[in-house]
Amino acid sequence: MNLLVLGLQWGDEGKGKAIDFLAGNFNVVVRYQGGHNAGHTIYYKGKKVILHLLPSGIFTNNTISIIAQGVVINPIQLVKEIKNISLMGISTDKLIVSMNAPVILPFHQKLDIIFENSRYLKIGTTKRGIGPAYEDLVGRRAVFIRDLIDKDKFYKRVKPLNDYYSKLIRSYDGEEVSINSYIDEYLESGVFLKKHSKNTTYLLNELYMEGKSILFEGAQGVLLDVNQGTYPYVTSSNTCVGGVFTGTGLPHKAVEKVIGISKAYTTRVGEGPFPTELFEEESDFLREKGNEFGSTTGRPRRVGWLDLVALKYSVMINGVNSVFVTKLDIFDEFDEIKVVTDYEINGEQNQIFDPSIDYLNEVEPVFKSFPGWKKSICNVKTFDDLPEKTKYYIKFIENYIKTPVEYISVGTQREQTINR
């Protein structure tokens, strides 16, 4: 069965751990959107490893890892990641990179910084050049991995873009990026990546037709989707289920099951509405317990109680079959745990998550409280062995979103996962 794993919140839900836990059951793991703004955290032999571009299945033996054409690639970052995990003894022989994936260039990062600093509404981007690279793709100006592995073609494609954006950068009083400052390093990365580069659309369809099992690894989260998320505080790609098909070239039938990842609470990095956000001492306590600091940026994440209204919306628009709840163990010491069951606006309550920022900035969350279980669940192996108060919390979530919680993470390690 082919499976899609996607984040149901604003990213950072623990997709890396979930995919690492599940990947051993699949022949292929595919990244299909986003770029190195993603940060998927894996614990390999007790060591924390953060992947920005490589599929999390890279740590699973005999699994083919594919970066599909929907991903925008910084080739310098990708080569660095490949070399780093090779030093850990991890084979990259089965890593495939789409030759049709767009390339992030140094001026994209410069533009990302300029655009962010010049916005009336700050987005809080990672400033990695992701947005401008996708803009070039939509604007039909993109440079691709296939160009990168051809020296003459790469220079001819990049030079006009570099000249064009240099003028734009100068108009903002910025320091333009010289093509000579990066051309050699990029071409070296092209030589390195050539052996990994293929037409992944045909490859994936061949694997699909052969009956190979495929695990699709989403980046960011549903509420950051450029069409369905809290626009303009969103990422630059489709993080919902539809992104799989545009990002891989596979038919809709290729996804047979969707698992959504949700923390037991809610976090957000960057700007944008956040109805359940906590402040001061409450937020500090939850942030420290959950180690809520961005794996990509290092920024402290905004934290809040679990928003079931938002979660139900994410489940609905993606046809989620089951949910993987992460970081449940963070609540082990809490006296009280809360969830949001309704929004109140203009004196009326509803269960509608409208991603409009005007709407979300006006709603008042309505909370339901649960008593904490006040004991460690880190070593619990089965759902039945969880404290009754913990099981009640999970069952309440299931009943509200009308979707079963199939997996529960009670710690950072792969084996600290309950499969119901």
Are 93 and 119 in a shared domain? no
Are 80 and 217 in a shared domain? yes
| 147 has catalytic annotation | no
Give the residue numbers spanning the domain of 289.
Answer: 262-419
Cα 50 to chain centroid distance, Å, stands at 12
Each residue's pLDDT tens digit, 319-340? 999 999 999 999 999 999 999 9
Instruction: Say if CB 101 and CB 196 are below 8 A apart.
Output: no
Each residue's pLDDT tens digit, 75-104? 999 999 999 999 999 999 999 999 999 999
Q: In the chain, pLDDT over 90 holds for what percent of residues? A: 82
Are 308 and 352 in a shared domain? yes
Are 247 and 266 in a shared domain? no
Instruction: Say which CATH number the domain at 40 has.
Output: 3.40.440.10
Are 54 and 154 in a shared domain? no
| 40 has catalytic annotation | yes
Are 304 and 411 in a shared domain? yes
Are 133 and 282 in a shared domain? no
Element (H, E) at 252: none
Instruction: Say which CATH number the domain at 184 has.
Output: 1.10.300.10
Write down the catalytic residue from 40, 52, 108, 196. Answer: 40
Q: Which of 151, 173, 191 is the last residue of a domain?
A: 191
- Between 44-53, 155-164, 235-244, 356-365, the lowest mean confidence (pLDDT) is in 44-53
Are 39 and 150 in a shared domain? no
- What's the structural domain count of the chain? 3
Are 343 and 393 in a shared domain? yes
Q: Which of 240, 259, 278 is the last residue of a domain?
A: 259
Each residue's pLDDT tens digit, 346-399? 999 999 999 999 999 999 999 999 999 999 999 999 999 999 999 999 999 999
Are 173 and 206 in a shared domain? no
Are 405 and 298 in a shared domain? yes
Q: Which of 165, 191, 217 is the last residue of a domain?
A: 191
Task: Say which amino acid occupies 389.
Answer: K
Instruction: Say which CATH number the domain at 408 has.
Output: 3.90.170.10
Are 283 and 395 in a shared domain? yes
Task: Say which amino acid occupies 84.
Answer: N
**Residue whose pair of structure tokens reads 């390339």 in the numeric block:** 103
In 250-399, the DSSP E strands lie at 257-263, 266-268, 302-304, 306-307, 322-326, 336-345, 348-350, 364-371
